[in-house]
Amino acid sequence: MTFIKLYEESFRKNFDLPAMADFASGETFTYREVATEIAKLHILFKECKINPGDKISVIGKNSSRWCIAHLATVTYGAVIIPILHDFNANDVQHIINHSDSVMLFAADAIWETLSEEKIPGIKGILSLTDFRLLSQKEVENIGETIAGLNEKFAEKYPAGFKPDDICYSDQSDDEPVVLNYTSGTTGFSKGVIILGRNLSGNMTFAHHHIKLKRGDRMLSFLPLAHTYGAAFDFLYALTEGVETTFLGKTPAPKVLLKAFEAVRPEVVISVPLIFEKIYKNMIIPMLNKLPIHWALSLPLLDTQIYTQIRKRLIHALGGKVRQVIIGGAPFNSEVEDFLLKIKFPVSVGYGMTECAPLISFSVCADFVPHSCGKVLECMEARIDSEDPENIAGEIQTRGQNVMAGYYKNEAATKEVFTDDGWLKTGDLGTMDKNNNLFIRGRSKSMLLGPSGQNIYPEEIEAKLNNLPFVMESLVMEKNRRLIALVYPDYGAVDESGLSHDDLALIMEENKAALNKAVASYEQIAEIRLFPNEFEKTPKKSIKRYLYG
C-alpha cells in the first residue's frame, strides 16, 4: 500500500473516531470531519487549477488545521512544503519562492509579516484559523470559490459524505510528497525531497515496533514542520486511528505537565531537552532530600524509592504512558542512566531529515543503554572507520528512507552522497555487531586535543549541564584552549538569592568538578557566562556556527 493510500484506508476505517484536537482552543475533529475538510480543499485545489506535483506551503504553530492542510495537499497528489513558524520573514519568502509554491496556508500573525509582492508565484493565501481567504492575485477567483465551497461539496456528494467517498491520489511512492527545508547546525537551509516511499518506510516500521493502538491518544508538542514530530505524532498516529492533541504553544514544563494530565497519552515523542529539564527540576531535588539520599544507600529501600519515582514520573505524564521515545539531539547520559535505573520505559532513536527521519531505533525491551537503537530493517548503516566498533567514524546509510536529493541543488546532493551511493550523515559514531549505533558527535563539531586526541564537545557539555545553576552550555576551542560558554539557570539563581559574584564563584567550582570528571585533554580552561539562551535548530540543537 502506498503512503497516500494509508490515509484513504484509515479515514474509512476510523470514520467516527476522534482524530485531532487543539489543546489551546479546544477545537476537535473526528476522522469524518478531517476527511470532509480534505474533500472540500480538493475541490478548491481543482477549481484553482492546482495540478498534482504542484507545491503548496504551510506555516504556523502546530494545529489540527495545519495537519488538514498538509494531508489535503499530499492526498491530492501535490507536494507540501512545511515551514517552521520561527523562521524570519525573509527566510520564509525565500523558501516559498525556491520551492515554486503556488498556494500558501499561513497563521494570521505570520501572514502579516510577509510581503505579498515578494512571493509572486503564490495564487492565494488561506488562513490556518478557518481556511478563509487572506489574499489572492487579481486574476484569481479563489474568494468566490471558497464562498461557494459548501454548495459544490453538496453537489458532489448529494447522498452525504460517506467512507466509500474517500478516494485519494494513485500516485506512485516514487513521487515527491514533501519538500522539507531545515536550518541545520551548519547554517545553510536546503530543500530535502522526501518521497512517498521514504515516509511509508517510517510508517511501516512504526506500525510493527511502536505499535500505537486504535483509540490511543498522543500529545504533539514538537514542531510539525520538522520530520521527527510530523512523522510520528501526526502522520503515523493518523494511520492507526489515534487521536492527537496539538499543544500549539511553547512546551514550558508547567504547560506540558498540565497537557499531559488532560490528554493522558500512551506514547510520548520528545527531544532530550524536555526530559533533561524534568530530571533537573523534579527528580534531582527529590533525590537530594536527606532521608531519600540516605535510604538510597540501603539495598532494599533503594528499589522501593526508585519504584515510587518511576510511578510519580509516569503519573506526571498522565498515568498511561507505555513508551517514551527520545530523538532529535544527543541525550544526556546521566539522565538516561537514571531513567533506565528506575526502569522507566524510555528508548532513544536516531535519524535525520534526509531519512524522513528514522535510521535506527529499538523499543524499550531491546534498547541497549547509550545507543540510539538498532539500524532499521529497511536501512543499512556503516561506519567510515578502520575499526567501526571501537573507533568513531562518520555514520553513512542507505535504504528505503533515504531522500531523493536536495531540490534544485545538484551540487549539494552530489556532495552528501559517497561515490558508491551511501548518504553521509555528518555524525560520528560506532556500531556494534548487532547493528546498534552509538553517536559520538557531529563531525564538524569534533575538536582535536593537544596530542591529536578526538574531543567531542557534546560529551563535555552533557556533564557540565548537570552541574548547579547551568541551564545549557557550549564548549569550543579558543587559542588552543577549551572554553565553555554557560547560559545560567537564572530562575534558580533568583530563587537562591545569589548575586552575580556568587554565580561566578559557583562556576569556578563547577569547572573544578567538571575537570575531575573528564580526561586531561578535555579539561576546560575557562567558563564564561552567556546572557541569553543559545539559538537552536528545530531539533533543539545549538547552532554552533553562530558562536565560533
Q: Which three cell numbers stand for residue 529?
A: 557566562
- Structure confidence at residue 186 (pLDDT): 36
- What's the pLDDT band for 433 if we cut at 50, 70, 90? very high
Is the per-residue pLDDT at 290 higher than 70? Answer: no
- Structure confidence at residue 276 (pLDDT): 86
Is the per-residue pLDDT at 152 higher than 60? Answer: yes
379-384 and 393-399 strand pairing: antiparallel
Can you tell me the distance from the alpha carbon of 256 to that of 251, in angstroms, rounded to the nearest whole number? Answer: 6
Is the per-residue pLDDT at 185 higher than 60? Answer: no
Q: Are 197 and 400 in contact (CB under 8 A)?
A: yes
Contacts 24+ apart (CB under 8 A), 84-92: 84/59, 84/183, 84/223, 84/225, 84/226, 84/538, 85/59, 85/60, 85/61, 85/110, 85/223, 85/225, 86/223, 86/538, 87/59, 87/183, 89/113, 89/114, 89/115, 91/183, 91/189, 92/59
Q: Which three cell numbers stand for residue 399?
A: 535504504
Every domain of the chain and the residues it spans: 3-196, 267-319+322-442, 455-546
- Structure confidence at residue 445 (pLDDT): 75
CB atoms under 10 Å from CB of 546, counted, come to 11
pLDDT in tens, 304-331: 888 888 999 999 999 999 999 999 877 8
Residue position matching grid coordinates 486574476: 139
Find the DSSP H helices in 365-499.
410-416, 457-464, 490-496
Geometric angle at alpha carbon 161, from 159 and 164, rounded to 5°: 100
- Structure confidence at residue 187 (pLDDT): 42
- What's the pLDDT band for 189 if we cut at 50, 70, 90? low
Same fold, 267-319+322-442 and 455-546: no
- Mean pLDDT value of segment 112-117: 93
The verdict on pTM exceeding 0.85 is no
- Mean pLDDT value of segment 147-157: 96
- Helix, strand, or coil (residue 217): strand
Task: List phi, psi (to 5°) of 390.
Answer: -125, -25
pLDDT in tens, 330-345: 788 889 999 999 999 9
CATH label, 3-196, candidates 2.130.10.10, 3.40.50.980, 3.30.365.10, 1.10.240.10:
3.40.50.980
CATH label, 455-546, candidates 1.10.579.10, 3.30.300.30, 3.40.50.970, 3.20.20.150:
3.30.300.30
pLDDT in tens, 337-390: 999 999 999 999 999 999 999 999 999 999 999 999 999 999 999 999 999 999
- Helix, strand, or coil (residue 360): strand
- Structure confidence at residue 452 (pLDDT): 54
Half-sphere exposure (CA, 13 Å, Cβ side) for 344? 31
- Structure confidence at residue 246 (pLDDT): 98
Is the per-residue pLDDT at 476 higher than 60? Answer: yes
Strand partners, 424: 396
Is the per-residue pLDDT at 458 higher than 70? Answer: yes
Q: Which residues contact 58 (CB under 8 A, 6 or more apart)?
A: 66, 69, 70, 73, 80, 81, 82, 83, 104, 105, 106, 128
pLDDT in tens, 483-515: 999 999 988 888 888 887 789 899 999 999 999
Q: What percent of the chain has pLDDT over 70?
A: 94
- Rounded mean pLDDT of the chain? 91
Chain CA centroid to CA 161, Å = 34
Homologous superfamily (CATH) of 267-319+322-442 is ANL, N-terminal domain (3.40.50.12780)
Q: Which residues contact 208 (CB under 8 A, 6 or more apart)?
A: none
Q: What percent of the chain has pLDDT over 90?
A: 72
Can you tell me the distance from the alpha carbon of 111 to that of 469, in angstroms, rounded to the nearest whole number? Answer: 39
217-220 and 190-195 strand pairing: unpaired
Sheet holding 133-136, edge to edge: 133-136, 124-127, 101-106, 55-59, 79-83, 176-182, 190-195, 405-406
- Structure confidence at residue 119 (pLDDT): 96
